[in-house]
Structure 1
Amino acid sequence: MKRWIPLLCAVLCVGAHAQTLRWATQGDAQTMDPHSQNELLTNAINGQVYETLVNRDKQLGIEPVLATEWQQTTPTQWRVKLRPNVKFHDGTPFTADDVVFSVQRAREGTSDIKAYANALGEPKKIDALTVEFNLPAVNPIFLQHATLVQIMSKTWSEKNKVTKPLDFKNKEESYASFNANGTGPYMLVSRAPDVKTVFKRNPAWWGKFDGNVQEVVYTPIKSDPTRVAALLSGEIDFVLDPAPQDIARLRGTPQVKVIDGPENRIVFIGMDQSRDELLYGSVKGKNPFKDQRVRRALYQAVDIETIKTKLMRGQAVPTGGITSSPLGAFNDPEIEKRLPYDLEGAKKLMADAGYAQGFEVTLDCPNNRYINDEEICQTLASMWARLNVKIRVNAMPRSTYFPKVQKFDTSMFMLGWGGSITDAEVTLTPVLRSRGEGGIGAWNFGGTKDAKLDELAAASSKEADPKKREQLIKAALREHNEQVLNIPLHRQVIPWAARSNVDVVHRADNWLEWRWVTIR
């Protein structure tokens, strides 16, 4: 009996533990407000609590969620039927009022997804379970935009005075910073930013769980070695972003497995091309980044193969494209083709532009957002030193980095852009077009302005004919590349690492869906 009791206890303990998913990445969600920040980890964590009208299945196809049916009644009108008998976590019923409220909230000036919410048009309640969307123009990817606006409770938001998204870049906090009330499969239990966030399964969720996870404990662990050590020791079950240099060791470790897959995400360098003098540069009275020859010289001085092989250990796909996936450019090899690495040519371009002696500038980088983000910036600094361009790398946590660049307080910056949508629209409108109303150009932190690109991109946003639209998109992307408005680096390859008893579904948008996780 003395031996049997501990054994039974051990079995019960394992069984109980198998219901808890403990996972980590290098950063943390920025806020629990689902409309305040458009950043993948923030969206993915909030997306377990808040649901959208339609969303992505395991292969990234569109599937019904809070909407059960939809119909395009005219070229500029969609009618959506809502799922009956759905309740928010506080027990209040989900209705059309919540959809109308959420889309309007997501269009507010402090929303970071307003470009996508505006693309849905004007929502109108028809009855308790029907919403009509009236668009100012045709939206060729209406349903894909609908996957990006998470639905909040109108009643809860009014009660807690969070009817507008919090202004994250100006350090505003609200009840929605630390509390949440969605319709999704998991409920927020506790929130300690940069320390630990805990969730539990929603027992009243309308959907079906494919996995067995009852509780989720998320812990940000900035240090790569510490994160991997926690996985190896069994302290955590899953790591979303193991460092490339650790992959070979993890593959050879019993009780651990690596799940590989490409990510729909382009990593690139942007430059301030709007100011007449850089905020953080040595050149006075003019801005070297306004000169296409300087931008091209920096591009051609990037030895991308060295970054791929030495720094990324092969976990990167170099490209000359600027969309999150080659699909965004319709797999056009010319649009995807990089400018050649040509150091001597780059030096000549710098001399022709009048900068043979180079200049100094600060490069803002996150240090816990993309794979090897700070290391890439340091590597670029050493490469650009050969052009006599002295780069001061200003690396910082994502919680500091994003508010800084969102205020356009930058002269040069690293950005990664991607997600579940591979269509070029979600790059062209928020990232590449000139800054405008309704979220257009909201992520164009370099303030680039190109009339030809703007005209082509704007036309593609409302072109119903697929062939005509393809030509408009390709022409806009070619214009971006010819003008070297940004310097593309690579698309990330994302290996996930897990304990061998943990089964997950790897998607190309780097989104961990908890309801699909099984811990054996």
Structure 2
Amino acid sequence: MKTAFRALTVAAALVCATPLAHAQTLRWAAQNDVLTLDPHSQNHSTTSALLQHTYEGLTRYTRDYQVEGALATDWKPISPTQMRFNLRKGVKFQDGTPFTADDVVFSFGRINSPHSSLKPFVAGITEVKKVDSHTVDFILAAPNPILTRTIIDFRIMSKAWAEKNKTTAPPNAAAKEETFATRNAMGTGPYRIVSWQPEQRMTLEQNPNWWDAKNASNIKQVLYLPIKSDQTRVAGLLSGEVDLLTDVPTQDVARLKADARLKVMEGNEVRTIFVAMDQGSDEIRNSSVKGSNPFKDKRVREAVSIAIDRAGIQRALMRGLSQPAGLMVPPGVTGYSAALDTVPKTDIERAKRLLAEAGYPNGLDLSFHCPNNRYVNDEEICQALVSMWARAGIRVKLQTESFATYSPRVQRMDLPFFLYGWGVPTYDALYVLQALVRTRTGGADGNGNYWKLSDARLDALIDDIKVELEPAKRNALIHAALTRVRDEHLFAPIHYQVRPWVMTKNVTTQHRSDDKPEARFTTLR
């Protein structure tokens, strides 16, 4: 009954969207919703993809992923640890208040709040100082070779608006707290978020006063429809109630390609899907092992990895729309090396021997957690993993749930064994290594380290990567870190996603490897 009710609810949302649709309305459907409207709360790709239309940074990407000015017009180093940004004059927030240096200073303090998961985007910045009303200096802990890339997702919020609405800090999302900014947004960007009904729809309307109006799209309105059901999403596209579908069921790609009314764009996504293991707790909850943590043993971690048939997942579940992975950093990211990307070979017998050597001759029993609406075929992949691991004696009880409730549990470190994915919006390997591998310190270091990993050798390598300016030396450090992560089996990478987008013939857009469609690169005819 719940499934049927959900399908009817989504169908109603599609029907309601149709009368509003016109030649300048883009109806965009995907499988999961944003987690919040607060730009400094949740480091979540779908949330970022929608909020980038309202909240802007000092810099942004061009069509070919080069850095250009957004709310800053230009920048220059004052010293190796001081970068001066000249802010764009005449910019107004969507409520008409002017954008100034005070908003940048305020936003820096806000993104560094205890409950923000976006600290990696301001990593290495110790202070933002106001020089005058439209000039700020970034004071750095050390030289930063990728500063202008990392701050693209450092989104600027109005200080006056936040203070007026008592939302000067992001809430504790892991505890399900909310503030005014959780469900309301007001930035400087090309679109205003005018309504959001969670898990149903979001409506964005074009900002006529956007500072970059000369580059605005002809799309006046964007309707975003989060639809978990694969069948309902595809049905909406085929019936003409959806214009753009960015979460396309792999089993439907071939028939959608054959439909003359549609066009399909495929591209690699800079995202790795992997299995995470709690390696810091003294005991794993819901496990047959009491008084110790089997994931602290490299042999157990290797057994988990080599029991996975990555080629089988690519062939049977992904239908070729994935690349089996041996690294945590995908192709297309600075620091990736094809020579290091050695995909673990499936070896069930070796996995059994490793478990026995680690003291588990009869295998292991434990829980495994999985989202059911976040990554391509996430629930199906997890079901396949259950069968694969069972052959090696790793017997898991699968638990699945919506990413809206899954993500807070991950952030609370409630899940000792689970499926996760990590994209690289900076297109640089440091983003992965610093967030996922570095020992958690309370700042940007280890901000996404939800598995309590701590490795002194890796910490030293990552700290060197942060400040090395010479590209060859920096890549050598990255390769050393990736090799250790791989050889210690600290994660079990499964694959790098390939993302097909399907749209009606009247839609023209650019496929984005960060899986963040942008209306400014999209037009309707």
Superposition TM-score tier, normalisation by shorter sequence: over 0.9
Residue equivalent to 1:511 = 516
- How many residue pairs end up in the alignment? 507
**Out of 126, 141, 163, which is 1:158 matched to?**
163
**Out of 241, 249, 271, which is 2:255 matched to?**
249
CA offsets 1:112-168 (integer angstroms, 9 cap, x no match): 111322433310010111000111111111111111100000000010011101211
Residue equivalent to 1:190 = 195
**Out of 279, 285, 306, which is 1:300 matched to?**
306
CA offsets 1:334-375 (integer angstroms, 9 cap, x no match): x21122221222121112112121111111111111100111
Q: Within 5 Å, which residues of 2 pair with 1:100-179? A: 100-179=105-184
| Counterparts of 2:334 and 2:277, CA distance in 1 | 23
| Counterparts of 1:16 and 1:284, CA distance in 2 | 58
Residue equivalent to 2:75 = 70
Q: Within 5 Å, which residues of 2 pair with 1:69-468? A: 69-207=74-212, 208-325=214-331, 327-333=333-339, 335-468=340-473
| Counterparts of 1:481 and 1:196, CA distance in 2 | 40
8 Å CA contact 1:209–1:516 kept in 2: the answer is: no
8 Å CA contact 1:302–1:341 kept in 2: the answer is: yes
8 Å CA contact 1:178–1:191 kept in 2: the answer is: yes
CA offsets 1:74-95 (integer angstroms, 9 cap, x no match): 1111000011100000000000
Amino acid at match of 2:319: R
8 Å CA contact 1:36–1:168 kept in 2: the answer is: yes
8 Å CA contact 1:23–1:239 kept in 2: the answer is: yes
Amino acid at match of 2:351: A
8 Å CA contact 1:364–1:413 kept in 2: the answer is: yes
SS in 1 for 2:105: helix
Identical residues among aligned pairs (%): 45
CA offsets 1:177-199 (integer angstroms, 9 cap, x no match): 11111000000111111111111
8 Å CA contact 1:40–1:419 kept in 2: the answer is: no
| Counterparts of 2:228 and 2:71, CA distance in 1 | 35
Could you say what the CA RMSD is over the residues aligned between the two structures, in angstroms? 1.5
Alpha-carbon distance, 1:515 to partner: 2.1
| Counterparts of 2:40 and 2:387, CA distance in 1 | 38
| Counterparts of 2:379 and 2:197, CA distance in 1 | 25
Residue equivalent to 1:8 = none
8 Å CA contact 2:337–2:479 kept in 1: the answer is: no
| Counterparts of 1:455 and 1:441, CA distance in 2 | 13
CA offsets 1:367-424 (integer angstroms, 9 cap, x no match): 1111001111111110000011111111111110110010000110111111332211
SS in 2 for 1:261: strand
Over 3 Å counting, the alpha-carbon distance change for 1:220 and 1:347 in structure 2 is: same
Residue equivalent to 2:3 = none
| Counterparts of 2:459 and 2:125, CA distance in 1 | 20
| Counterparts of 2:452 and 2:380, CA distance in 1 | 26
Amino acid at match of 1:152: M
| Counterparts of 2:217 and 2:42, CA distance in 1 | 28
SS in 2 for 1:395: strand
| Counterparts of 1:427 and 1:490, CA distance in 2 | 15
SS in 2 for 1:494: strand
Amino acid at match of 1:384: W
SS in 2 for 1:269: strand
SS in 1 for 2:125: coil
| Counterparts of 2:105 and 2:387, CA distance in 1 | 51
Alpha-carbon distance, 1:15 to partner: 12
8 Å CA contact 2:275–2:491 kept in 1: the answer is: yes
Normalized against structure 1, the TM-score is what?
A: 0.95
8 Å CA contact 2:269–2:515 kept in 1: the answer is: yes
Alpha-carbon distance, 1:297 to partner: 1.1
Amino acid at match of 2:487: E
| Counterparts of 1:15 and 1:291, CA distance in 2 | 57
**Out of 42, 45, 56, which is 1:40 matched to?**
45
Alpha-carbon distance, 1:210 to partner: 4.9
| Counterparts of 1:519 and 1:360, CA distance in 2 | 53
Residue equivalent to 2:5 = none
SS in 2 for 1:439: coil
Amino acid at match of 1:329: G
Alpha-carbon distance, 1:427 to partner: 0.5
**Out of 475, 479, 493, which is 2:498 matched to?**
493
**Out of 27, 30, 35, which is 1:30 matched to?**
35
SS in 1 for 2:443: helix
Alpha-carbon distance, 1:326 to partner: 5.3
| Counterparts of 2:330 and 2:108, CA distance in 1 | 25
Amino acid at match of 2:209: A
| Counterparts of 1:512 and 1:266, CA distance in 2 | 19
Unaligned runs of 5+ in 2: 1-17
Over 3 Å counting, the alpha-carbon distance change for 1:377 and 1:400 in structure 2 is: same
8 Å CA contact 1:356–1:387 kept in 2: the answer is: no
SS in 1 for 2:98: coil
CA offsets 1:288-329 (integer angstroms, 9 cap, x no match): 111101111111111111000100000001120111435343
8 Å CA contact 1:49–1:181 kept in 2: the answer is: yes
| Counterparts of 1:173 and 1:437, CA distance in 2 | 22
